[in-house]
A and B are shown apart, each in its own frame.
Chain A
Amino acid sequence: MEQTAEVQDREDSLKGVGCSRKRKEDARFVQGTGRYTDDFKFPGMLFADMVRSPYAHARIKSINKEKALALPGVHAVLTADDLKPLNLHWMPTLAGDVQAVLADEKVHFQYQEVAVVIADDRYIAADAIELVEVEYEELEVLVDAHRAMDSDAPVLREDLVGKMDGAHSKRVHDNHIFNWQAGDKEATDRVFEQAEVTVKQDMYYPRVHPCPMETCGCVASFDKINEHLTVHITSQAPHVVRTVVSMLSGIPESKIRIISPDIGGGFGNKVGIYPGYVVSIVASIVLGVPVKWVEDRMENISTTAFARDYHMTGEIAADKEGRIKALRVNVLADHGAFDACADPSKFPAGLMHICTGSYDVPVAHLNVDGVYTNKAPGGVAYRCSFRVTEAVYVIERTMDVLAQKLGIDKAELRRRNFVKVEQFPYKTCLGWELDSGDYHTALEKVLNAVDYDALRKEQQEKRAQGELMGIGLCTFTEIVGAGPSRNCDILGVGMFDSAEIRVHPTGSVMARMGTITQGQGHQTTYAQIIASELGISSDEISIEEGDTDTAPYGLGTYGSRSTPVGGAATAVAARKIRAKAQKIAAHLLEVSENDLEWEVDRFKVKGVPGQEKTMKEVAWAAYNNVPEGMEPGLEAVDYYDPPNFTYPFGIYLCVLDIDKRTGETTVRRFYALDDCGTRINPMIIEGQIHGGLTEGFAVAMGQEMPFDEQGNLLGNTLMDYFVPTFVETPHWETDYTVTPSPHHPLGAKGVAESPHVGSIPCFTSAIVDAFAHLDVTHMDMPHSAWRVWQKVHELGLDTPA
């Protein structure tokens, strides 16, 4: 017993996997010593500010820079014509399209970058942009994606007229970007024709914005003497930025250093390459001094990286017992003026074909058409894996509609259709292999925890009294950890990730990864992985990311890929080190390495008590006493190409009450059970879940980017764009099950995006459920008080009692 307790103590002291270790990042953040991009100030640094279009669609007749250039302190005013000789007035997007860096003859969306002013400070720059005179000729505006492919729709992209071979498919209209399909259309249609029951639901997933606390920005510093470019930038993918900057500028990657310092939240907003970055770099190269560009809040919401904007139709064919026979999903995807979606190259609609959800669907067909409109480009994964939020929304909504039509409780309908635990790994009809799951157990756990039957009974009573109470359910499966290089790449670079670990002579560790933390707590959790693998306390392990001069190449952090890919690389690299350490230990103990067994932090000779070497002892020996023929040192690098995605899942349940007089919603209860496999740091997971649920609440209840018919963005300040505070945020109850991933070295899956992906349809489910007895099957987001009241009013429920 004593021995076991001693071993347990040693294990606990490592603060490894499973430990709710406090975040190492927080000391500097709460004391105000974090360093964000805008904190970097260099001698002679100039500031860039953008002249932006007031119109959504207009021809530029002239640009007069004279007055701006005459303002003291202004160094340059650049337009597309100035970038043309460098061939940088347009740039390629991640989605195979091109995007104007500065508007070239035409503006395609309101707030588009038309010219950039470079000045001594940001105050002079702000005055100077007002002095740049741009003459526009307004053109017909296209805002409604449903009108995009009409024969009389205005043509937006004159640069693409006649080019009917798109990056992903033939284009059938000048405003068409791609058609993309998955599954078997004919077989699906056949099942629908013969089905006992079918349901069909149209739904719109509004255009929203990730809206991180820190906006996008960079400081570009070109050293003319050494021809070396350094860029401090708010990027979720610094290594990809280096590759793209090299491709665009012709500067060798070896002379480009990209540094992502502390980042104040990303949520997908900081994956792309934006015009502001390009013009800052160009200006720094030309002027030979550092140039800073930082967005203000309105620029951030208006121009860099919207998410969603999917018009979806979900259809299910089923038998009378509610067993799914086929799924059909049609999507009209509004990508704005340039297709700058940040998706793996092969997937113009991301991983939308995960839309079969947690269910055993025999056959399915997904059809997506992407179109251009006069809105900002983007299409990023806002706290989700590429388009998974949309996929989960369409299947979960359509399941609810089916339950309603059949009069089967929506929990029971899911029970009947879940992929069963013995079916894993489960191949979906749209081509994914769900690695592991136990949906039934998780569902029952949640229903018991909230006493589901009692809630339904209470709802009956409330309805009899004319009150509106809704119970929402979402039983989702995510697909995260992009991804296997056989189907995932960005600009041709496979979506592996990397870790490099160095064990120093005294047994402390420095490790660097190709990912980049933006709030996830990598400095804390990666150290825990290494601690458990190497038997060295996580307190002695330093983690560094974000500097391309020092970190190994990686694809970055988004789509919940850090733990599934970067975490796996970390574990594998640590295991390489332990394998070498075992050889050194065998040498020190003069036994065969097969005679050794590993125990927490040391190698022990099997069956010989006391004959052992700790990892720290081995580390010292690695630098002075290695077996003959072995190179000294104790370090390893791993580039991990995952064999599959990971598929975390969750069961969420929401109970809410609606005030019929105002349309206000009170979320009475929100119960979130998540299964992300092995849990590395439960405290951090809890924090991630709380954050994700709060963001999901924001999207479901209030976030949207509304446009008028002229393409004016109506809500681009935090007065209108809903970012909930502590006051509005409901109380969250969390729970978990653990179903490890069979292919991940630690059994871990991604988690931070599940609460966002899963909660949004859960809120809609609850809102609609409040009206379900009145034959309401769907209500579009956001479920603001105004919109909910409109339904109340339409149904005549708000007449005074």
Chain B
Amino acid sequence: MIPSEFEYHKATSIQDAIAQLGAHEDSKLLAGGHSLLPMMKLRFAEPPHLIDINGIEELRGIRLEGDTICIGAMTTENELIESEILQQHCPLLVEAARLVADPQVRNRGTIGGDVAHGDPGNDHPAVMLALDATLVLHGPDGERQQSANGFFLGTYWNDLQEQEILVELRVPVIKKGVGHGYSKLKRKTGDYAVAGSPVVIELDGDVCRDIRIALTNVAPMAIRAEAAENILRGKVIDDALIEQAAAEVLAVCDPAEDLRGDVLYKSHMGAEMARRSIRAALQQARG
């Protein structure tokens, strides 16, 4: 329960953090620390250098720019929950943040850390997929923007390049005719999801113009259930179609067995969470 020795560095700006990442081999960024520090205490992770980005003010805060909400990567879960901008324009994020871990973790844990860490059990990657978010990344060569779709490549593996820092997450304002649902099954407070599913539906009258069904912790990384989406897109969604979509969700699940469940249970729970979220999103979109 005591980490091996490491050097602690405090970054003063994004540029400074990028420079320090370059200067110290095998260094890790310290955000909220609630995933990294437990791994270090168990000595599963032994980074020789930690670069603390908690003091960088420009990484915090939520602002509205036209139809886009810009969220600083170091915004904590509790700040998401308390944000009036999110409550009004993107309640899905508020709902998801409320179900992350427990109050202590939500005081420290950050949205950027959650997205960048790469644990398939983290909640925000799937939420970012469902929201079709854009990630803003800074590196030695400047800024680049990357869609959340395609960012998550595997367990503890994503498109973040050497010396790159996730700086901001941009999500669209949810408009009229758009509904969302979020369902998460967990064993107890503080646990990761057995399965979770955020869903966003855009309706055109009764017809589903677009839908994004994302899944948490039922695959090596957060995924979209595209085959299920294809069943519903362009259709008037009814119970029978939802069941067909749920069957596709079941088929796309590829979870690792652990004490939360075996492959069969977790896959079925992935489908059930999606089913519930589709229903909730549909109801909301219909107003």
Contact = CB atoms under 8 A, between A and B. Distances in A.
A706 B261 CA distance: 13
B4 A664 contact: no
Contacts of A793: 264, 268
A661 B2 contact: no
A728 B188 contact: yes
A662 B272 contact: yes
Interface stretch (A684-692, A716-724, A738-746): A716-724
A720 B259 contact: yes
B2 A122 contact: yes
Question: Interface residues of B: mostly helix, strand, loop or mixed?
Answer: loop
Contact of A722 (B188, B246, B261): B188
Contacts of A725: 102, 188-190
Interface residues of B, number: 25
B189 A798 contact: no
B185 A664 contact: yes
Interface string A700-720: 001000100000001100011
B5 interface: yes
A123 B2 contact: yes
A733 interface: no
Interface in A515-566: none
B23 interface: no
A800 interface: yes
Contacts of B2: 122-123, 126-127
Interface string A117-128: 000001100110
Contacts of A130: 4, 43
Nearest to B262: A786
Given A725-B188, A725-B189, A786-B265, A661 B260 contact: no
Interface centre among A706, A720, A786 (most CB of B within 10 A): A786
Contacts of B188: 702, 722, 724-725, 727-728
Nearest to A790: B265
Nearest to A123: B2
Contacts of B1: 126, 296-298
A789 B4 contact: no
A662 B187 CA distance: 11
Contacts of B102: 725
B214 interface: no
Interface in B57-80: none
Interface in A605-663: 661-663
Interface in A764-801: 784-786, 789-790, 793, 798, 800
Nearest to A724: B188
A728 to B, nearest CB: 5
A785 B272 contact: no
Contacts of A126: 1-2
B178 to A, nearest CB: 26
Interface residues of A, number: 31
Contacts of A800: 243, 246
Contacts of A722: 187-188
Given A728-B188, A728-B189, A127 B5 contact: yes
A727 B190 CA distance: 10
B203 interface: no
Nearest to B186: A785
A706 B185 contact: no
Nearest to A789: B265
Interface in B256-287: 259-262, 264-265, 268-269, 272
B191 interface: yes
B251 to A, nearest CB: 15
A706 B259 contact: yes
Given A722-B187, A725-B189, A127 B4 contact: yes
A702 B190 CA distance: 15
A130 B46 CA distance: 13
B189 A786 contact: no
Contacts of A297: 1
A785 B185 contact: yes
Nearest to B246: A800
A448 B188 CA distance: 33
Contacts of A661: 272
Interface in B177-194: 185, 187-192, 194
Interface in B1-48: 1-2, 4-5, 43
A663 B246 CA distance: 18
Contacts of A296: 1
A213 to B, nearest CB: 15
Contacts of A662: 185, 269, 272
Nearest to B102: A725
Contacts of B189: 725, 727-728
Contacts of B260: 786
A793 B261 CA distance: 14
A663 to B, nearest CB: 8
Nearest to B269: A662
Interface in A107-135: 122-123, 126-127, 130
Nearest to B266: A786
A786 B272 contact: no
A702 B191 CA distance: 13
Nearest to B261: A786
B42 to A, nearest CB: 8
Interface string A273-302: 000000000000000000000001110000
Given A663-B265, A800-B243, 13 more contacts: A126-B1, A126-B2, A130-B4, A297-B1, A662-B185, A664-B185, A715-B259, A725-B188, A727-B188, A727-B189, A728-B189, A786-B265, A793-B268
Closest 4 CB pairs of A and B: A126-B2, A296-B1, A786-B261, A727-B189
14 contacts: A298-B1, A662-B185, A662-B269, A663-B265, A706-B259, A714-B259, A715-B259, A722-B188, A724-B188, A725-B102, A725-B190, A728-B188, A786-B261, A786-B265
